[in-house]
Amino acid sequence: MRNRNRKFKRYGLPILEDSFVGKVEAPETLEIACQMGVEAEIANVKMYDRFLDFVRESDLRDTFTQLRYVSQNKHKVAFERCLNSRRSKI
């Protein structure tokens, strides 16, 4: 969190409040939650790809590259594993 705050300050960006707190309902089932997680991570990877098309600052590129890697290779994989384990129990 501190690293993000430093980058926001470095680039003169405001740190916004999380507008989703308390407004998002939990999915009806764990399977649905896992599927939503897979879809969200796919969307995150695409978002980071778009950022990497135009961001030139090396520290920001490094951050987006790392976030993209984690979304693609860690988070998405974990949600897929969750989804597959739910489906195998049916």
16-50 residue pLDDT tens: 888 988 998 999 999 999 999 999 999 999 999 99
For residue 5, pLDDT beyond 90: no
pLDDT at 88: 73
> Per the domain annotation, does 49 fall within a domain?
yes
Residue 65: inside a domain: yes
Q: What does the pLDDT look like over 52-67, one tens digit per residue?
A: 999 999 999 999 999 9
For the stretch 4-10, contacts whose Cβ atoms lie closer than 8 Å and that sit 24 or more positions apart, written own/partner, are: 7/59, 7/60, 7/63
Residue span of the structural domain in which 37 resides: 27-90
Count of domains in the chain? 1
Q: What is the pTM of this model?
A: 0.85
Nearest in space to 44 (alpha carbons), one of 17, 78, 71, 81: 71
